[in-house]
């Protein structure tokens, strides 16, 4: 079985040393970067920042998009502006990259881990509904976790490996229980649920443009919102909370120097011009993987119902943990960079004491899941 998978990967990526996901630069990157350098406007003010924000807003259908230095800080600012603060809990999934939990911790809040759906790898609406209905109550106008006594301040699902979670159901539950919804859409640029782009269902959505994402700015992120007041507050807070003035430096609150540099935005603008082609190619790669591996005793995670996934990373589910470890060892010895999914947050020492119930699906997926090379292929 492994030989069939290795042969398939080598055929898709005929090169020495196959990375998990590397960027592709085949558009206006050099032109825009040269233009940016010639302008001398390479820091966090410049035309490319504005153009990149407009392009992302247009592509996702979000009314507002604010470019920041990375996806983690995008999450932190979104949570903070949503009202997440010290002594509160944020409901999220344990099967996620550590940035999701870290951003909650930056706010002084506590992550509360719920289980995921096997079909989406994302936060389970059933798990969310069950917890809110059976383990919370209203005290003094706040929804409280009965066990910890802490108020709940937000819900933060993540669209895992680019596959949309059941976000419309999550949004409805959050609306019913009056809980702000923030989407971690770091991996899902180009993915839609029922025709609507991920990151646009909640109060905020956040994106990442790290070097391993479907498009990259080297390092960078974006905050999406349809709320004009929140968009203005986001832009202000991430620009050191500086009031507009021709020559005075007046700051009206403790802000953050989180705005994306213009030179990074120049790279991002060239990348997003190619995004529709990148999504088509990655979806075709997933189809090629699925068709060739169909007869093998494993599962290739497919896009959920009513969704279009960008297939940021293709995920194999083996029958047991022993197969997973054996595959990872053999793949990496061959120069094929395959990896495990993230160790669930509740199994990390730093988050071991955070509240969570039973997480059987999370733990089962972690024990059997492997990501395989998923870059946009180079056309011969």
> Would you say 281 and 376 are in contact if contact means Cβ atoms under 8 Å apart?
yes
Q: Tell me the β-bridge partners of 314.
A: 372
pLDDT < 50: residue spans in the chain: 380
Is 29-272 the same fold as 2-24+275-372? no
Residue 259 CA to residue 251 CA, distance in Å, equals 16
Which residue ranges make up each domain of the chain? Answer: 2-24+275-372, 29-272
Burial track 239-254 (b if 16+ CB lie within 10 A, e otherwise): bbeeeeeeeeeeeeee
DSSP string, 343-373: PPGGGSGGGTTS-B---HHHHHHHHHEEEE-
Give me the pLDDT at residue 45, please: 80
Count CB atoms within 10 A of the CB of residue 304: 19
CA proximity to 186, closest of 217, 152, 169, 162: 162
Give me the pLDDT at residue 230, please: 98
Structure tokens at 228: 């004009």
- The 3-state DSSP class for residue 104 equals helix
- The 3-state DSSP class for residue 319 equals coil
Q: Tell me the β-bridge partners of 225.
A: 64
Count CB atoms within 10 A of the CB of residue 264: 24
CATH T-level topology, domain 29-272? 3.40.640
Give me the pLDDT at residue 44, please: 84
Q: CA distances (Å), 226 to each of 61, 76, 103, 175, 232, in order?
A: 9, 18, 21, 16, 11
The residue whose two tokens read 């993540």 is 158
- The 3-state DSSP class for residue 145 equals strand
CA proximity to 197, closest of 276, 87, 102: 276
Rounded to 5 degrees, φ, ψ at 343 are -65, 130
Give me the pLDDT at residue 378, please: 84
Give me the pLDDT at residue 348, please: 98
Burial class of 65 by CB neighbour count within 10 A (0 to 12, 13 to 18, 19+): buried
Say if pTM beats, i.e. exceeds, 0.85: yes
What is the 8-class DSSP label of residue 6? H
The residue whose two tokens read 């550590």 is 98
Sign of CA dihedral 303, 309, 315, 320: negative
| Terminal alpha carbon distance of the chain | 28
Q: Tell me the β-bridge partners of 143.
A: 138
Task: State the CATH architecture for 2-24+275-372.
Answer: Alpha-Beta Complex (3.90)
The residue whose two tokens read 């809110």 is 132
**Using one digit for the tens of pLDDT, what is the confidence trace for 244-294?**
999 999 999 999 999 999 999 999 999 999 999 999 999 999 999 999 999
Residue 173 CA to residue 181 CA, distance in Å, equals 10
Residue 12 CA to residue 372 CA, distance in Å, equals 11
69 in the Ramachandran plot: left (φ > 0), alpha (ψ -120 to 50) or beta?
alpha
**Using one digit for the tens of pLDDT, what is the confidence trace for 52-92?**
999 999 999 999 999 999 999 999 999 999 999 999 999 99
Give me the pLDDT at residue 84, please: 98
Give me the pLDDT at residue 379, please: 66
């Amino acid at each position: 079985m492994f030989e069939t998978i290795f042969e398939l990967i080598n055929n898709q990526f005929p090169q020495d040393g196959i990375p998990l996901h590397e960027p592709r630069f085949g558009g206006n990157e050099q032109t825009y970067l040269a233009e940016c350098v010639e302008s001398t406007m390479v820091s966090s003010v410049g035309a490319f920042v504005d153009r990149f924000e407009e392009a992302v807003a247009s592509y996702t259908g979000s009314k507002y998009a604010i470019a920041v230095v990375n996806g983690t800080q995008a999450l932190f600012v979104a949570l903070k502006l949503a009202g997440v603060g010290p002594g509160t809990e944020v409901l999220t999934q344990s099967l996620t990259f550590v940035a999701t939990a870290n951003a909650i911790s930056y706010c002084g809040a506590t992550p509360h881990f719920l289980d995921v759906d096997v079909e989406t790898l994302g936060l389970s609406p059933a798990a969310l509904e069950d917890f809110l209905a059976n383990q919370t109550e209203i005290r003094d106008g706040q929804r409280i976790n009965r066990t910890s006594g802490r108020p709940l301040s937000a819900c933060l699902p993540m669209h895992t490996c680019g596959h949309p979670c059941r976000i419309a159901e999550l949004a409805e539950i959050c609306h019913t229980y009056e809980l702000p919804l923030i989407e971690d859409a770091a991996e899902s640029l180009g993915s839609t649920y029922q025709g609507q782009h991920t990151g646009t269902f909640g109060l905020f959505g956040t994106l990442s443009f790290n070097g391993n994402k479907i498009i990259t700015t080297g390092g960078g992120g974006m905050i999406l919102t349809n709320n004009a007041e929140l968009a203005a507050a986001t832009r202000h807070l991430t620009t050191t909370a500086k009031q507009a003035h021709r020559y005075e430096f007046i700051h009206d609150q403790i802000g953050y120097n989180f705005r994306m540099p213009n030179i990074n935005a120049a790279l991002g603008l060239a990348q997003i011009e190619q995004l529709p082609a990148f999504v088509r190619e990655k979806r075709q790669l997933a189809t090629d993987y699925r068709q060739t591996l169909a007869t093998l005793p494993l599962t290739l995670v497919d896009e959920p119902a009513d969704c279009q996934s960008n297939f940021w990373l293709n995920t194999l589910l083996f029958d047991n943990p022993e197969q997973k470890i054996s595959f990872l060892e053999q793949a990496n010895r061959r120069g094929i960079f395959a990896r495990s999914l993230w160790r669930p947050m509740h199994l990390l020492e730093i988050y071991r004491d955070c509240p969570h119930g039973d997480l059987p699906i999370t733990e089962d997926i972690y024990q059997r899941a492997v990501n395989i090379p998923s870059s946009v292929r180079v056309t011969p």
